[in-house]
């Protein structure tokens, strides 16, 4: 009987029987594991559904299209109580993204400044960096948020006694108010100028780089790009006869109306998130810089580079290899930490959707699931972007 | 179906927690204590003193149930819950019942897998403002910033009221009622809105209570009552009739002081409620003297009201709607026989 088993055995000499083949066994165990896991998950889901039905708890996503009926403190898109629960999801999501982007922006700036300050030759600046990191890294974030919100911002005066600057900027316990530019005819020219300025700066930088490669001459790139970036839009504004009017905030009735309002909840959250995360980023930057061997600095000095250039051209590009992966996880932490907004009532996704919407509808599983998916997706996006960036940094190093 | 599957995958733990269903009455008897969900601290309703003892009109409902089932009103374990946590805690079996100033609405009754066992306080939503604003009516609140507790019916009523009257407002939502008070006190908002009873309680908590006034408008109906899980009828009955016994006792003139005497010397109705004759305890699955335990250990509804929110408390709330039906209110117990 020359069946498949014996023929394969013949091919491999004294190979073990089919069921003794390590490769086949490995596949067999994998399949068993998948089946067991699949059955386990199926049982849990099935159990949940049956139990929920038994208890008369409604399931499904129908609630998303019903009217929410409550108002939200701050919204980047049009929203009022007549919108649906799905709209509350969007409002919360945008508010979360807003606070994350602003937080990441400031945390990065603070973190880099403080991380580099650690290597300053000035004793005071160096110690300031150490003290900053140790203080803000070691205090729970929630406490810091409470500190900024209930201790600092709540001490501001009421609307009628606002701190003001030139009757245009106002700061009081209800928030920070600033004039809002309203566009008039011809405003598009200014927008176009901004786009042209950005592209122009980029082209100029490329040109300057090439020129340096070819001729070895350096242009004052910083000042020239600054001039293009700001000069062009300002020029366009003046030429068009300032096609904007400012809407000033005005005290009417209880509160200021008009203009742009930055609510204190957002301020407290951004301040505490960026200072807290900034401390971790400072440590990442310090680690990155310290990972560059000292010989690199000495070699750079020996060819006559200035201290500033050594940092910019030699140290930082190499340090980025270490810093970028660390930054990635700090950014993700910041996004996750932004859910603490719920403690001070900033209407982020967690406060609005998992808070109010969940309570009004009772659809706990659906809402929690959607929210988990969002945070997962947002952090995957951050990871993706940071990995692209990381690849770039790593390539530069290998050249 | 796929939608349902993905939904369910999210909270896996629900599948495990689900086993301890029905039979809450037996569970409580076996455990020897009642786990009762209350508020995180609301004067008059459920609050903890310095010694860690809970008191309040909501707490008394928990105590009444414990007295009926276990014969001892003290055998209650209190679980403080925020407005956001309360329903999930009950659904998942973390608490046996909820007695946490919770408004009875259709959505909650019909879609959360819960049942309301009655009403122990008829409330309505109102507004508290700072006196210095010079506001006399809620209709003058156009443009105001309003502090509010997240996840309450209050949030919905507020939106309705301002929209119906063509007014604008800014809603600032906090997690706990204590935080709303802080926000109001610091001046983050002009107005604090909540159930009227809570407003009086919160007002007492202010550093200078005399600087704030409660506006006359009542903009909603808020019947507050104890809640149990749906589908556990034996337990539902016990909670419903424990509350009813408190109300009935007041109606029949039975108090914590005269209850022991009336067991033998009272009218037939009084004697029957106190467990002398009749088999109401047997039908509910508790001891024959269940109602007597409630009245002697917790008191009747009127006693509980006056001690916690009425004349015997700092809140000084009048009986109003919460008086007996034959005294101008709407508190009414179905016949206990």
Contact partners, residue B118, CB within 8 Å, separation at least 6? B225, B226, B239, B240, B243, B244
Q: What is the predicted pLDDT for the residue at A7?
A: 46
Residue B2 lies in a domain: no
Quick: pLDDT tens for A292-310.
998 998 999 999 888 888 8
Domain boundary among B162, B187, B220: B220
Mutate to test the interface with B, among A71, A263, A340 (most CBs of B within 10 A): A71
Q: What is the predicted pLDDT for the residue at A4?
A: 47
Residue A227 lies in a domain: no
Q: What CATH number is associated with residue A138?
A: 1.10.3720.10
Q: Say if the Cβ atoms of A345 and B174 lie within 8 Å.
A: yes
Residue B337 lies in a domain: no
Q: Does residue B112 sit in the same domain as residue B255?
A: yes
Q: What is the predicted pLDDT for the residue at A395?
A: 59
Residue A319 lies in a domain: yes
In whole angstroms, give the CA distance from residue A175 to residue B189.
Answer: 11
Residue A1 clears pLDDT 70, i.e. is over it: no
Q: What is the predicted pLDDT for the residue at A396?
A: 56
In whole angstroms, give the CA distance from residue A165 to residue B172.
Answer: 26
Quick: pLDDT tens for B215-261.
988 999 999 999 999 889 999 999 999 999 999 999 999 999 999 99
Q: Give residue for tokens 């006196």.
A: B131
**Considering only CA atoms, which of B63, B85, B90 is closest in space to residue B74?**
B63
More confident residue, A325 or A2: A325
E-strand spans in B281-324?
none
Question: What's the DSSP call for residue B165?
Answer: T
Instruction: Report residue B300's pLDDT band, with 50, 70 and 90 as the boundaries.
Output: very high
Q: Looking at the complex, report in whole angstroms how far the Cα of residue A274 sits from the nearest Cα belonging to chain B.
A: 23
Residue B9 clears pLDDT 50, i.e. is over it: no
Find chain A residues with C-beta within 8 A of B142's C-beta. 253
Q: What is the predicted pLDDT for the residue at B38?
A: 96
Q: What is the predicted pLDDT for the residue at A54?
A: 78
Domain boundary among A49, A64, A80: A49
Residue A106 lies in a domain: yes
Mean pLDDT of A87-105: 95
Quick: pLDDT tens for A241-254.
777 888 888 877 77
Q: Does residue A392 sit in the same domain as residue A277?
A: yes
* Mean pLDDT for chain A overall: 87
Q: Does residue B35 sit in the same domain as residue B100?
A: yes
Q: What is the predicted pLDDT for the residue at B22?
A: 63
Question: What's the DSSP call for residue A314?
Answer: I
Domain boundary among B172, B196, B220: B220
Q: Does residue B52 sit in the same domain as residue B65?
A: yes
Mean pLDDT of A331-347: 92
Residue A344 lies in a domain: yes
In whole angstroms, give the CA distance from residue A90 to residue A73.
Answer: 14
Find chain A residues with C-beta within 8 A of B183's C-beta. 345
Burial class (CB in 10 A: 0-12, 13-18, 19+), B277: exposed
In whole angstroms, give the CA distance from residue B240 to residue B118.
Answer: 6
Q: Looking at the complex, report in whole angstroms how far the Cα of residue B11 sits from the nearest Cα belonging to chain A.
A: 6
Q: Does residue A14 sit in the same domain as residue A137?
A: no
Segment holding B59, helix H or strand E? helix B57-70
Find chain A residues with C-beta within 8 A of B9's C-beta. 41, 44-45, 369
Residue A9 clears pLDDT 60, i.e. is over it: no
Structural domain of B183: 125-220
Q: Say if the Cβ atoms of A254 and B143 lie within 8 Å.
A: yes
Q: Say if the Cβ atoms of A253 and B142 lie within 8 Å.
A: yes
Residue B58 lies in a domain: yes
Q: Does residue A286 sit in the same domain as residue A354?
A: yes
**Considering only CA atoms, which of A367, A362, A365, A54 is closest in space to residue B106?**
A362
Structural domain of A22: 4-49
Give the pairing of strands B144-149 and B191-195. Answer: parallel
Residue B39 lies in a domain: yes
More confident residue, A170 or B16: A170
Instruction: Report residue B179's pLDDT band, with 50, 70 and 90 as the boundaries.
Output: confident
Q: Say if the Cβ atoms of A173 and B169 lie within 8 Å.
A: no
Q: Does residue B111 sit in the same domain as residue B130?
A: no
Q: What is the predicted pLDDT for the residue at A15?
A: 66
Tokens coding B196:
């009227």
Find chain B residues with C-beta within 8 A of A358's C-beta. 84, 151
Q: Does residue A277 sit in the same domain as residue A342?
A: yes
Q: Does residue B229 sit in the same domain as residue B322?
A: yes
Domain boundary among B220, B254, B277: B220
Q: Looking at the complex, report in whole angstroms how far the Cα of residue A63 sits from the nearest Cα belonging to chain B.
A: 11
Residue A38 clears pLDDT 50, i.e. is over it: yes
**How many domains would you assign to chain B?**
2
* Chain B residue at shortest CA distance from A174: B188
Q: What is the predicted pLDDT for the residue at B13?
A: 42
Q: Give residue for tokens 């629900």.
A: B14
Residue A367 clears pLDDT 80, i.e. is over it: yes
Q: What is the predicted pLDDT for the residue at A12?
A: 52
Q: Does residue B213 sit in the same domain as residue B236?
A: no
Q: Which residues pair with A251 in a beta bridge?
A: A256
Q: Does residue B118 sit in the same domain as residue B228?
A: yes
Burial class (CB in 10 A: 0-12, 13-18, 19+), A229: middle
Mean pLDDT of A204-227: 85
Q: Does residue A93 sit in the same domain as residue A45?
A: no
**How many domains would you assign to chain A?**
2
Contact status, residue B62 vs residue B91, Cβ threshold 8 Å: no
Q: What is the predicted pLDDT for the residue at A213?
A: 85
Q: Does residue B243 sit in the same domain as residue B307?
A: yes
In whole angstroms, give the CA distance from residue A317 to residue A395.
Answer: 11
Mean pLDDT of A72-98: 92
In whole angstroms, give the CA distance from residue B128 to residue B218.
Answer: 11
Quick: pLDDT tens for B104-158.
999 899 888 899 999 999 999 999 998 888 888 999 998 889 999 887 888 889 9
Question: What's the DSSP call for residue A17?
Answer: P
Secondary structure (3-state) at B213: strand
- The whole-angstrom distance between residue B156's C-alpha and the CA centroid of its chain comes to 19
Question: What's the DSSP call for residue B46?
Answer: B
- ipTM surpasses 0.90: no
Residue A384 clears pLDDT 90, i.e. is over it: yes
Q: Does residue B81 sit in the same domain as residue B133?
A: no
> pLDDT > 90: what percent of chain B?
59
Residue B238 lies in a domain: yes
Q: Does residue A365 sit in the same domain as residue A272?
A: yes
> pLDDT > 70: what percent of chain B?
93
Quick: pLDDT tens for B39-92.
988 889 999 999 989 999 999 999 999 999 999 999 999 999 988 789 989 988
Q: What is the predicted pLDDT for the residue at B298?
A: 96
Q: Does residue B28 sit in the same domain as residue B53?
A: yes
Q: Does residue A280 sit in the same domain as residue A374?
A: yes
User: Any alpha helices (H) in chain A, and if so which ranges?
Assistant: 4-11, 22-54, 85-117, 123-138, 141-146, 187-215, 221-239, 264-290, 294-302, 307-309, 316-337, 349, 358-361, 364-398
Q: Does residue A378 sit in the same domain as residue A316?
A: yes
Weakest-pLDDT range from A20-24, B125-129, B187-191, B319-323: A20-24
Q: Does residue B232 sit in the same domain as residue B110?
A: yes
In whole angstroms, give the CA distance from residue B241 to residue B280.
Answer: 10
Highest mean pLDDT among A132-136, A351-355, B131-135, B148-152: A132-136
Residue B259 lies in a domain: yes
In whole angstroms, give the CA distance from residue B24 to residue B10.
Answer: 27
* Mean pLDDT for chain B overall: 89
In whole angstroms, give the CA distance from residue A44 to residue A77.
Answer: 39
Residue B158 lies in a domain: yes
Residue A322 clears pLDDT 70, i.e. is over it: yes
Quick: pLDDT tens for A257-274.
778 889 999 999 999 999
Residue A57 lies in a domain: no
Residue B336 lies in a domain: no
Highest mean pLDDT among A32-41, A160-169, B84-93: A32-41
Residue A68 lies in a domain: no
Q: Does residue A371 sit in the same domain as residue A281?
A: yes
Output the pTM of the full model. Answer: 0.79
Residue A69 lies in a domain: no
Give the pairing of strands B125-130 and B191-195. Answer: antiparallel
Weakest-pLDDT range from A79-83, A101-105, A275-279, B150-154: B150-154
Contact status, residue B331 vs residue B337, Cβ threshold 8 Å: no
Instruction: Report residue A283's pLDDT band, with 50, 70 and 90 as the boundaries.
Output: very high
Q: Does residue B174 sit in the same domain as residue B106?
A: no
CA neighbours closer than 13 Å in the CB half-sphere of residue A368: 15
Q: Does residue A335 sit in the same domain as residue A267?
A: yes
Q: What CATH number is associated with residue B116?
A: 3.40.190.10
Residue A178 lies in a domain: no
- Which of B83, B144, B174 is nearest residue A254 as measured by Cβ atoms? B144
CB pairs under 8 A between A and B: 169
Contact status, residue A193 vs residue A240, Cβ threshold 8 Å: no
Q: Say if the Cβ atoms of B6 and A369 lie within 8 Å.
A: yes
């Amino acid at each position: 009987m020359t069946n498949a088993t014996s023929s394969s055995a013949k091919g491999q000499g004294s190979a073990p029987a089919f069921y003794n083949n390590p490769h086949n066994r490995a596949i067999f165990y994998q399949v068993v594991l998948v089946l067991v896991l699949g059955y386990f998950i199926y049982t849990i889901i099935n159990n949940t559904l049956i139990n929920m039905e038994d208890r008369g708890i409604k399931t499904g996503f129908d609630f998303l299209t019903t009217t929410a009926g409550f108002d939200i403190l701050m919204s980047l898109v049009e929203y009022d109580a007549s919108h649906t629960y799905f709209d509350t999801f969007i409002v919360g999501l945008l508010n979360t993204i807003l606070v994350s982007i602003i937080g990441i922006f400031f945390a990065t700036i603070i973190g880099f400044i403080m991380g580099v300050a650690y290597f300053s030759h000035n004793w005071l600046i160096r110690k300031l960096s150490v003290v900053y990191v140790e203080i803000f890294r070691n205090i729970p974030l929630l406490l810091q948020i409470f500190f900024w919100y209930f201790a600092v911002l709540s001490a501001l005066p009421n609307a009628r006694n606002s701190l003001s600057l030139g009757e245009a900027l106002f700061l009081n316990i209800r928030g920070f108010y600033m004039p809002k530019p309203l566009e008039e005819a011809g405003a598009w020219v200014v927008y176009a100028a901004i786009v042209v300025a950005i592209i122009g700066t980029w082209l100029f930088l490329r040109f300057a780089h090439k020129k340096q490669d070819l001729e070895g001459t350096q242009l004052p790139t910083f000042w020239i790009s600054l001039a293009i970036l700001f000069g062009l839009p300002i020029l366009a504004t003046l030429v068009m006869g300032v096609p904007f009017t400012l809407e000033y905030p005005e005290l009417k009735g209880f509160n200021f109306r008009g203009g742009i309002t930055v609510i204190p909840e957002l301020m407290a959250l951004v301040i505490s998130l960026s200072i807290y995360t900034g401390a971790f980023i400072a440590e990442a930057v310090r680690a990155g810089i310290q990972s560059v061997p000292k010989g690199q600095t000495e070699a750079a000095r020996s060819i006559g580079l200035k201290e500033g250039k050594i940092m910019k051209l030699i140290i930082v590009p190499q340090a980025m290899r270490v810093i970028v992966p660390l930054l990635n996880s700090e950014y993700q932490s910041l996004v996750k930490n932004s859910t603490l907004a719920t403690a001070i009532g900033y209407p982020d996704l967690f406060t609005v959707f998992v808070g109010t919407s969940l309570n009004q509808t009772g659809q706990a599983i659906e809402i929690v699931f959607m929210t988990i998916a969002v945070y997962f997706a947002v952090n995957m996006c951050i990871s993706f972007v940071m990995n692209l960036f990381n690849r770039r940094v790593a390539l530069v190093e290998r050249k | 179906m796929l939608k349902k599957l993905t939904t369910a995958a999210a909270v896996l733990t629900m599948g495990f927690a689900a086993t301890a269903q029905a039979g809450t009455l037996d569970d409580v008897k076996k455990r020897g204590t009642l786990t009762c969900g209350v508020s995180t601290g609301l004067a008059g309703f459920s609050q903890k003193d310095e010694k860690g003892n809970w008191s309040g009109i909501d707490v008394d409902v928990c105590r009444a149930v414990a007295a009926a089932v276990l014969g001892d009103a003290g055998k209650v374990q209190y679980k403080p819950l925020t407005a956001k946590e309360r329903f999930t805690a009950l659904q998942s079996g973390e608490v046996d019942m909820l007695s946490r100033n919770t408004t009875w609405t259709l959505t909650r009754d019909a879609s959360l897998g819960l049942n309301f066992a009655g009403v122990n306080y008829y409330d309505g939503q109102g507004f508290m403002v700072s006196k210095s604003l010079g506001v006399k009516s809620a209709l003058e609140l156009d443009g105001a910033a309003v502090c509010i507790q997240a996840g309450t019916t209050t949030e919905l009523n507020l939106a309705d009221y301002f929209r119906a009257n063509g007014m604008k407002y800014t809603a600032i939502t906090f997690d706990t009622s204590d935080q709303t008070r802080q926000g109001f006190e610091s001046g983050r908002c002009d107005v604090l809105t909540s159930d009227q009873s809570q407003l009086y309680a919160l007002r007492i908590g202010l550093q200078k209570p005399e600087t704030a006034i409660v506006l006359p408008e009542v903009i909603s109906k808020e019947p507050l009552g104890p809640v149990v899980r749906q589908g556990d009828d034996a337990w539902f009955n016990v909670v419903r009739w424990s509350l009813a016994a408190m109300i009935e006792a007041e109606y029949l003139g039975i108090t914590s002081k005269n209850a022991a005497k009336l067991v033998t010397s009272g009218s037939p109705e009084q004697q029957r409620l106190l467990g002398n004759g009749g088999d109401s305890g047997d039908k509910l699955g508790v001891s024959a003297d269940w109602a007597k335990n409630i009245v002697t250990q917790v008191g009747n509804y009127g006693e509980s009201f006056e001690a916690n929110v009425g004349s015997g408390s700092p809140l000084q709330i009048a009986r109003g709607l919460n008086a007996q039906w034959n005294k101008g209110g709407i508190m009414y117990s179905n016949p206990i026989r």
